[in-house]
């Protein structure tokens, strides 16, 4: 059985078929083009140096800090006159995943993680996030070949409690964390 993810039409029965039965997943080509256009738009804004919260700027109190630049508030009276180390957008994203992967406890069952992965891919297929097509293809390949990221069962970060488990889903894509393949748990490799 093959199930096409398009960001809009995923059913509960399809999630179960992918998670439990290993149904093959494909990504809707038309919707992938929308995803690509959004990612290209975002990449263009990054190249132009536009401040985009959490992409070209820091988070929270660092929202006024463009990555790769100095803090704007440091120029104000009472600001920090010492130069700070520059951070690039890629480093920020890497560090964000690492810092949020704080779950503990026994691993979730593989079918639960496969369901999480399916739902996350489908959500990203809507084309609103700026995710790269290649990232979605890589996540889909994980599902199709049976690689299951190890996600500990307990943990949350802030008001969006899903951030910690989702960070564990992404660890393998950056060469970190653990994954299960054919019943064996091993270090993930990018």
* CATH code of the domain covering residue 45: 1.10.275.10
Residue 73: pLDDT over 90: no
Per residue in 125-149, pLDDT tens?
999 988 999 999 999 999 999 999 9
Per the structure, the complete domain to which residue 45 belongs is given by 2-49+88-187
Task: Confirm whether 58 is domain-assigned.
Answer: no
Residue 35: pLDDT over 80: yes
Would residue 53 show up in a list of annotated catalytic residues for this protein? yes
User: DSSP code of 49?
Assistant: T
Q: What is residue 79's predicted lDDT score, i.e. its pLDDT?
A: 61
Task: Confirm whether 55 is domain-assigned.
Answer: no
Task: Confirm whether 68 is domain-assigned.
Answer: no
Residue range 168-174: average pLDDT? 90
Q: What is residue 65's predicted lDDT score, i.e. its pLDDT?
A: 80
When pLDDT is cut at 50, 70 and 90, the band that residue 123 belongs to is very high
Q: What is residue 26's predicted lDDT score, i.e. its pLDDT?
A: 98
Helix (H, G, I), strand (E, B) or coil at 103: coil
Residue 70: pLDDT over 80: no
Q: How many distinct structural domains can be found in the chain?
A: 1
148-177 in b/e burial notation, b at 16+ Cβ within 10 A?
bbbbbeebebeeeeebbbbbbbbbbbeebb
**Contact in structure between 137 and 166 (CB atoms under 8 Å):** no
Task: Confirm whether 24 is domain-assigned.
Answer: yes
Task: Confirm whether 82 is domain-assigned.
Answer: no
Task: Confirm whether 66 is domain-assigned.
Answer: no
Contacts of 170 (CB under 8 A, 6+ apart): 97, 101, 149
Task: Confirm whether 13 is domain-assigned.
Answer: yes
pTM: 0.83
Task: Confirm whether 161 is domain-assigned.
Answer: yes
Q: Is 123 exposed, middle or buried (0-12, 13-18, 19+ CB in 10 A)?
A: middle
Catalytic residue, candidates 41, 53, 59, 181: 53
């Amino acid at each position: 059985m093959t199930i096409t993810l398009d960001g809009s039409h995923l059913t509960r029965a399809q999630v179960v078929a992918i998670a439990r039965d290993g149904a093959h997943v494909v990504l809707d080509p038309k919707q992938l083009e929308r995803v690509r256009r959004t990612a290209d738009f975002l990449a263009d804004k990054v190249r132009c140096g536009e401040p985009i919260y959490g992409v070209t700027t820091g988070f929270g109190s660092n929202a006024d800090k463009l990555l790769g630049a100095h803090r704007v508030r440091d120029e104000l009276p009472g600001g920090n006159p010492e130069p700070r180390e520059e951070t690039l957008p890629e480093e920020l994203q890497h560090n964000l995943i690492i810092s949020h992967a704080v779950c503990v406890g026994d691993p979730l069952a593989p079918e639960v993680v496969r369901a999480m992965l399916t739902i996350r891919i489908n959500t990203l297929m809507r084309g609103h996030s700026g995710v790269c097509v290649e990232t979605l293809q890589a996540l889909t390949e994980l599902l199709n070949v049976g690689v299951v990221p190890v996600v500990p069962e307990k943990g949350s970060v802030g008001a969006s409690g899903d951030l910690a488990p989702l960070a564990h889903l992404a660890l393998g894509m950056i060469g970190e964390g653990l994954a299960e393949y054919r019943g064996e748990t091993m270090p993930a490799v990018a």
